[in-house]
Structures are given as structure tokens and as C-alpha cells.
């Protein structure tokens, strides 16, 4: 990859609970690049290296969508002599908007998209791109010949065991609250545990967008109606820089997201020595099989939780070491940057 890079992304803001991780990506990329220009939808808090400049499309100022587009074209033209390669993170629409112009300017286009579903717009963005990256072989973009499976990019220096005592039989669900995350499956499993008199505490950390706020309300209502309010709590989203501390408070991490994308929180949790229970088939063969439950099967999830609770401390420690080692060797941020800049 050229060392003069234009990155197009959603946000540069360490306070963002969902997208704050990308600031660390840019910092790591800057070690490999001569110069980086970043175009983002929203610009907030960051302390980036001197060879990085950030240009916001203006969401933090409340500008209109038309202004987003006009600012986007203004920047890709004004900065055209400062970059040779474009790296678009997640938002395929920017490839659709800028792809032809970048092609006419002889810019190399790299697209990162990691989602189980796609559309005509996705296929068009892939067509316009020189290379496509995803982290799961079940991602929609994995079907294309120009796609490369990539490391997840976990900052294993930030996400590590800080030596804090964890609550016994404690469960954590961290991430945005949305139907695609299938948190209702997790609550149904907790109801089963409660009926079987299995002791546990569970905490859901994250917020819902306006469109998913009703879904969030149904989850909280289900907890109350099934009499598990004393065992289940809900916290709002925390800034990205505070999530490592949250992981270190709990013993077990649960993620019910379907196969097709690898949720970065799974790898952050494993790097912090949490024991994961997930339903993502993409992890088969990479984590202990007893930690994988059938998609959309709350009864199977409940069984997996009970099985994990029954492990000895020595067994749990063995799995913690194995899981963190897997993340460090295969999915660290350094590994991601090395692979990306070899393209």
C-alpha cells in the first residue's frame, strides 16, 4: 500500500462508545504511513500523530446531508495531491460517491466492509474497489475474489487483564442495543437459569439508537415481567476508553450476534481474559467448542452458561490463557496494520 493514505470513516472520537476504537487504528496506521488524511462524518476528541490531518463533514455541527456530500467532494478534490490510496471503512456509500472520481485520478481504492448482508450498492462498491477487506468468511463481501479476510484489529495493550477481582458467575453483554444483536435471546436464557435456581448476575452495557429504542424497552419489560430484575441490570453506553475496565469486572461475556460478521467486542473481551459464550460460526475451531451455542437457541445458551459456571478455576484460567493468546497472535491491531500495509 502507498504510504500516502486517505481514510474515509464515520467518526474520529475517543469518546464514542461504538466507533472510538478507530482512533487507535489511525494511530497504528500512522506508524506505517508517510502521511494520512482522514475524512470523517463526525470529529470529536482525539490526540493523533503529527502526520495525520482530520477533516470533518460536519455532523458535530449539525449540518445538512446535502452539506455532507458537498464537503465530501470538496475534500477529495482539494486533497487529491496528498494521497495515492483511499481506505473506506464500513461506509460503502463513500465508494459509490467517490469511486469514479478516484478512478479518474488514478487512486487505489480499498474497502473495509464486514456485514452478513449486502445489496446492489454493496456489489457496486466492491466493483469500484481494488481490494475489499472483511474479518469473517461468512460476510457478504467474502464471496468476491478481490476480498481478503483480515484480523479484527484488537488493541491488546489496552484490552488486557488489569488484575481486578471479578464477580463470581457474572455475565456481561456489551455493545449497542439493537435487534441485530439479538439480546432477547440472552434474556430468554437468563429467564431459564432463574427458573432453574441458577445463581447469576448479568449486566447489559450499551445504548439504543432512536429507531431501536422500542426494542430496548421490550428487553427491559421482559426482565421485569419474568421477575429477574434483581439479577439483571442495564447501564448506558460508556466511552471506548472505559470499556476495558468494564470487561475486567465480569467473568463471562455473551454475544448472540449472528454469523457473518465478527463483533470486535468478542475479541476485546477475550483479550481481557473474559470467558466468551457466542453463537458466531465464524469462530468454530478458534475457541473452545463448549463456548459456542446454537444461533437463536436460548435453551442451548442457558446450558452453555451452566457448563461454564461448573468449570474449576484451573480450567477457566486455561481457557483464558488460550483465548487471549489466540487474539494476540491472530487479531491484534499490530497484525491488522501489518497485513493492510502489505496490500
Q: Are residues 100 and 249 in the same domain?
A: no
Same domain, 115 and 210: no
Residues 176 and 325 in one domain: yes
Query: Which domain does 324 fall in, by range?
Result: 170-330
What percent of the chain is predicted at pLDDT more than 90? 83
For residue range 58-73, what is the model confidence (pLDDT) as tens digits?
A: 888 888 889 999 999 9
Per-residue pLDDT reduced to its tens digit, 317-330:
999 999 999 999 99
Instruction: Name the pLDDT band for 280 (thresholds 50, 70, 90).
Output: confident
Residue 258 counted as domain residue: yes
323 shares its domain with 191: yes
| 215 and 262 part of one domain | yes
Q: E-assigned strands of the chain?
A: 4-12, 35-43, 52-56, 85-89, 108-112, 131-134, 147-149, 170-174, 201-205, 232-235, 252-255, 275-278
Is there a contact between 150 and 135 (Cβ–Cβ < 8 Å)? yes
What is the tally of structural domains in the chain? 2
Q: Are 238 and 302 members of one domain?
A: yes
Per-residue pLDDT band at 2 (split at 50, 70, 90): low
CATH code of the domain in which 224 resides: 3.40.50.2000
Whether residue 162 lies inside any domain: the answer is no
Q: Assess whether 18 and 108 both reside in one domain.
A: yes
User: Does the residue 60 lie in any domain?
Assistant: yes
pLDDT value of residue 1: 64
**230 is written with which cell numbers?**
434483581
Compute the average pLDDT of residues 16-33.
Answer: 94
pLDDT for 295 beyond 70: yes
What CA–CA distance (Å, rounded) separates 341 from 343? 5
Judge contact between 8 and 102, C-beta under 8 A: no
Residue 161 forms part of a structural domain: no
Give CA angle at 247 (246, 249), nearest 5°: 65
Residue 85 lies in a domain: yes
Helix (H) or strand (E) run with residue 185 in it: helix 183-195
Do 186 and 325 sit in the same domain of this protein?
A: yes
Q: What is the mean pLDDT of residues 230-244?
A: 93
Q: pLDDT confidence of 282, banded at 50, 70, 90?
A: confident
Residues 10 and 119 in one domain: yes
Q: What's the average model confidence in pLDDT over 239-257?
A: 94
Checking if the pLDDT of 206 tops 60, the result is: yes
Amino acid at each position: 500500500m502507498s504510504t500516502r493514505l486517505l481514510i474515509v470513516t464515520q467518526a474520529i472520537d475517543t469518546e464514542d462508545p461504538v466507533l472510538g476504537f478507530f482512533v487507535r487504528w489511525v494511530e497504528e496506521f500512522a506508524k506505517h504511513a508517510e502521511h494520512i488524511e482522514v475524512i470523517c462524518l463526525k470529529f470529536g476528541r482525539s490526540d493523533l500523530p503529527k502526520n495525520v490531518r482530520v477533516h470533518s463533514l460536519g455532523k458535530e455541527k449539525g449540518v445538512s446531508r446535502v452539506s455532507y456530500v458537498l464537503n465530501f467532494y470538496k475534500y477529495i478534490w482539494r486533497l487529491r495531491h496528498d494521497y495515492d490510496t483511499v481506505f473506506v471503512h464500513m461506509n460503502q456509500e463513500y465508494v459509490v460517491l467517490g469511486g469514479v472520481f478516484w478512478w479518474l485520478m488514478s487512486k487505489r481504492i480499498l474497502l473495509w466492509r464486514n456485514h452478513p448482508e449486502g445489496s446492489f450498492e454493496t456489489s457496486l462498491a466492491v466493483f469500484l474497489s481494488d481490494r475489499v477487506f472483511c474479518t469473517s468468511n461468512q460476510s457478504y463481501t467474502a464471496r468476491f475474489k478481490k476480498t481478503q479476510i483480515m484480523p479484527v484489529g484488537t488493541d491488546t495493550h489496552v484490552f488486557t487483564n488489569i488484575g481486578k477481582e471479578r464477580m463470581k458467575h457474572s455475565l456481561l453483554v456489551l455493545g449497542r442495543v439493537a435487534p441485530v444483536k439479538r439480546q432477547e435471546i440472552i434474556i430468554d436464557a437468563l429467564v431459564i437459569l432463574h427458573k432453574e435456581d441458577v445463581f447469576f448476575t448479568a449486566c447489559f452495557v450499551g445504548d439504543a439508537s432512536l429507531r431501536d429504542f422500542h426494542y430496548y424497552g421490550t428487553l427491559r419489560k421482559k426482565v421485569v415481567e419474568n421477575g429477574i430484575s434483581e439479577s439483571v441490570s442495564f447501564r448506558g453506553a460508556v466511552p471506548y476508553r472505559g470499556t476495558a475496565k468494564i470487561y475486567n469486572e465480569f467473568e463471562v461475556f455473551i454475544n448472540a450476534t449472528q454469523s457473518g460478521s465478527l463483533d470486535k467486542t468478542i475479541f476485546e473481551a477475550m483479550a481481557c481474559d473474559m470467558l466468551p459464550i457466542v453463537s458466531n460460526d465464524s469462530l468454530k475451531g478458534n475457541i473452545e467448542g463448549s463456548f459456542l451455542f446454537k444461533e437463536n437457541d436460548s435453551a442451548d445458551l442457558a446450558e452453555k452458561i451452566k457448563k461454564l459456571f461448573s468449570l474449576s478455576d484451573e480450567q477457566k484460567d486455561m481457557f483464558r490463557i488460550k483465548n487471549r493468546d489466540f487474539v494476540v497472535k491472530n487479531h491484534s491491531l499490530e497484525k491488522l496494520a501489518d497485513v493492510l500495509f502489505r496490500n
